[in-house]
Every structure is written in structure tokens, then in C-alpha cells.
Amino acid sequence: MYTEFISSEGLIRDAIKSRKKLDIFDYERPIGIQIFGGDEEAMALSAKIVDATQPDLLDINFGCPVKKVVCKGAGAGVLKDIDLMVRLTRAVVKSTSLPVTVKTRLGWDEKSINVMEVAERLQDEGIRALTIHGRTRAQMYKGNAEWKHIADVKNNPRIKIPIFGNGDIDSPQKALEYKNRYGVDGIMIGRAAIGYPWIFNEVKHFFKTGTELPKPDIKNRVEVCKAHLKKSVEWKGEKFGVLEMRSHYANYFRGIPDFKETRMKLVSYNTLAEIEGVLDEIIAVRA
């Protein structure tokens, strides 16, 4: 498991929002803290701060395609300058006693797919594993992830570190198919877990047994959604905790017939009590 990625600049400025993201609990282990940034000194200093919180590993994000991150020369923005990516990685590796891993993309665009060079050079800097999202920055999250490029990196005899694949894994069957077809050491799941945290146990169970776990029933969905909502409010306060949850309800209750009216209530009500009332109503009517 990984934390939400954290701005190296924010950590150094002691931004309360950034520092709070360093909170980790023993039941979450093994856990990595992920940082991003485009300045060597800031990345080195933030690595030292992370080191003091004692996660199990430190991950560098060279893959986020979001404009406000890329415009700062961070995330996938670094894919335009591999020399800078190498210097940033070196600064982090030298500044921490933790294992350092990296997540990146295939390249900036279709004409500049450079993930093979990235993998070789970052391995030489001492990273311990590499996760590759099978899209370029230009693709954002559109089209299909190109796992062939991930397999090419994995099959490169120069590469000795674990290679993890990422992109489009939304079912246990697909996870196993892609792991076998492309020979990766493991798989990262991101968007498919939003509003559906059961996917991780489903994948692990399918890998072990070849059988599917039963899908969560409506009561289980509501209980987990409620727990998520409460944690969100505890973390960000009622106003922002409630707002942040709005993007999750569609996935929590996907496939439930005649749900539009209920979903509109969930995304329009502004208090914890109101939304918990709607969730209780779902169980009363549908469970």
C-alpha cells in the first residue's frame, strides 16, 4: 500500500496538509510513502523527512500526468528530461536508508517512448523496483495501456530489479492473464479500487485458487462506504470530507438498478448526518 503522493516542496515548507499525509499505522504495513518534485535539493530534504517516519519504502512518482504537477516539472513532466530524472533519483537514494522505488510511464508521448533507458539508468542509481504505467503522459488515461513495452523492460537481460505493471487491471481474471502474458513481477491497481476496495482480496483469492470470491452484497457495500465516509470526515473535516466522497459513490453502488435518485441525494447533501441517513435508507429498502 502507498500513501497519497506528497509534494517535496510542501514537506519542506512544513505544510500541515503535506505532513499529515505522512501518518502511517502499523496495520497498514508494508507501506510506502510516495513523493514527487522537480528540484534535487527539495527531493533530498523531503527524503530525509520521510526517512524519519520509518515507512517500509520510499517511492518516487515520475508518472502523474496531471497538468498542475507536470507544469512544475514534476511527475510525468520529468519524462522530457531523463538526465534530470536520474539526478532527482540519485538525490533521493543518497538521502535515505529506505529502499527507493519509482513509478513512471512509457514516455512523454508516442514519439518519445524512453522507458527502457529510464529503467536501465534508474537501476544504475540504486532503485530497488520499478512500476510502469503502460501509457504515455500525452495519453493521460485514454486508450488502452500498452503492456508490450512493460514486458520488453522485464525481458531486458540488463534489468535485475522487480518490474511491476500498471494500467487497465479491473478484474482478477485480467490481473492473472496480464501477469502470465507479460511476465511481470507484480501488478499495481489504482483506478479500479476507487469505490471498490474488495478488488485486492478478489485478485489474491483468484491467484491462489482460480475461483472467484462472491461479490459484496448491498449491506457490505453500505457498511464499507460508511466507514470510508467517516474516515474521510475525520481526516479532512466535515465540509471537505463529504465533498471528497462524492466521486466514490458511483463505484460503491455500480450495477444497482433504479439508483439514480439515491445517488443524487448522496452527491448533493452536505452533512455527515444527512448522508448516513441515505445510506441507512439503502439498507432498509434494498438489503
Give per-residue pLDDT as tens, 185-220: 999 999 999 999 999 999 999 999 999 999 999 999
Are 110 and 60 in contact, with CB atoms under 8 Å apart? no
- The pLDDT score that the predictor gives to residue 244 is 93
| Residue 249: all three cell numbers together | 459513490
Strand partners, 186: 164
pLDDT > 90 fraction of the chain, expressed in percent and rounded = 83
- Cβ partners under 8 Å of residue 205, min gap 6: 172, 211, 212, 213
| 2 vs 53: CA distance, rounded Å | 14
| Residue 96: all three cell numbers together | 535515505
What positions carry a catalytic annotation? 64
CATH for 218-286, options being 1.10.1200, 1.10.10, 3.40.50, 1.10.490: 1.10.1200
Domain 6-168, CATH homologous superfamily name and number: Aldolase class I (3.20.20.70)
Domain boundaries defined on the chain: 6-168, 218-286
> Residue 154, Cβ neighbours under 10 Å: how many?
20
Q: Is the pLDDT of residue 48 over 90?
A: yes
